[in-house]
Amino acid sequence: MAPLQTVLITGCSANGIGSALAVALANQGHHVFATARSPSKIPSSLTTLSNVTPLQLDVTSSESVAAAVKAVELHGTGLDILINNAGSGYTMPLLDVDLTQAQQVYETNIWGPLRLVQALAPLLISCGGRVVNISSVGAVVPTPWIGIYSSSKSALSNLSETLRLEVAPLGVSVATLMIGTVTTPFHANEPRFTLPPNSRYAAIAETISRWASGEASPKGCSAQELADLILPDVLGTTGHGMFWRGPNSGAVKFVSQWVPGWLADRMMSTGQGLDELAASQSK
């Protein structure tokens, strides 16, 4: 059996990927620091376990990160694995994007993981640790209405793979997980979708709204099913690098690498309301 390890996971709110991973790891005997911006959202199924330490952690705050690092240091077992799972989304046509909200998505999805990696680097290096960055298949295909989210995940994937090269000589491994469709409360945590007045996309507002709510998304697996699937990637038994996991991940990988651009565009535009929008412009 692999040695028991100390793991810190961001974004451990109930019913999400983070809390599911925390349960799976804790059930194997590992010590888990289960963190969330609002600790009250961490499920009691985690907080009542003796080998789980719930922590408040806002990855956009340097002060919050410093406090979490101090808590890990005081625990005295070092840190073997950091899982950057916390993330936020934003569904909105790019012409209508509120730049303040868009910047907040980047603050959570890009600068948050990097802030945490920098702060925890001494502990990870001393343990020969591992960083697991939870990205998305949305990073590699242009999908209407989620350009801010997808571009942030594209940046995270590149950052993660670059980090892998840079910290390998220091004894730290990095895995980038390109996650497919998972059923979680992710969309419910987004800002309420409302097009601004006089939006050029008003004719298809209802269609975009269905994507914003997750109603139009493909069927996904449960968070616990995904956690069980990626557990070997988290623990390092599958090596390092980029891994495509979860429903639709293989299909998206194939489309991004092998399908001609014009056909990929058509596939990703289907059902998005773009044809209806074009028709409305010609009236």
The pLDDT of residue 99 is above 70: yes
Give the pLDDT of residue 83: 99
The better pLDDT of the pair 219, 189 is held by: 219
pLDDT (mean) for 226-233: 96
- Of 149, 201, 219, 283, the catalytic one is 149
Q: CB under 8 Å, gap of 24 or more: what pairs does 206-211 form?
A: 207/271, 207/272, 207/273, 207/276, 208/91, 208/93, 208/145, 208/273, 211/91, 211/145, 211/146, 211/272
Percent above pLDDT 70 for the chain: 99
Give the pLDDT of residue 51: 97
Give the pLDDT of residue 264: 92
Give the pLDDT of residue 2: 64
The better pLDDT of the pair 96, 186 is held by: 96
Give the pLDDT of residue 119: 99
Query: How would you list the strands of the sheet with 81-84, edge to edge?
Result: 52-56, 31-36, 6-9, 81-84, 130-136, 173-179, 241-245
Instruction: Report whether 174 contacts 109 (CB < 8 A).
Output: no
Q: Which residue has the tokens 């003796």?
A: 50
Integer angstrom CA distances of residue 210 from 86, 193, 218, 248, 278: 23, 10, 12, 19, 19
Class of domain 6-281: alpha beta
Q: Which residue has the tokens 């028709």?
A: 279
- If pLDDT is split at 50, 70 and 90, which confidence band does 189 have? confident
In the chain, the amino acid numbered 55 is L
pLDDT (mean) for 143-162: 97
Please say if 90 is a catalytic residue: no
| Sequence spans of domains, the chain | 6-281
Q: Is the dihedral of CA 99, 104, 107, 108 positive or negative?
A: negative
Please say if 149 is a catalytic residue: yes
pLDDT tens, residue by residue, 8-56: 999 999 999 999 999 999 999 999 999 999 999 999 999 999 999 999 9
In the chain, how long is the greatest CA-to-CA distance? 68
Arithmetic mean of pLDDT over the chain? 94
| H helix and E strand count, the chain | 11, 9
Give the pLDDT of residue 1: 53
Give the pLDDT of residue 237: 87
Give the pLDDT of residue 249: 94
Rounded to a whole number of angstroms, the distance between the first and last alpha carbons of the chain is 67
- Of 90, 106, 153, 201, the catalytic one is 153
Percent above pLDDT 90 for the chain: 87
Give the pLDDT of residue 198: 94
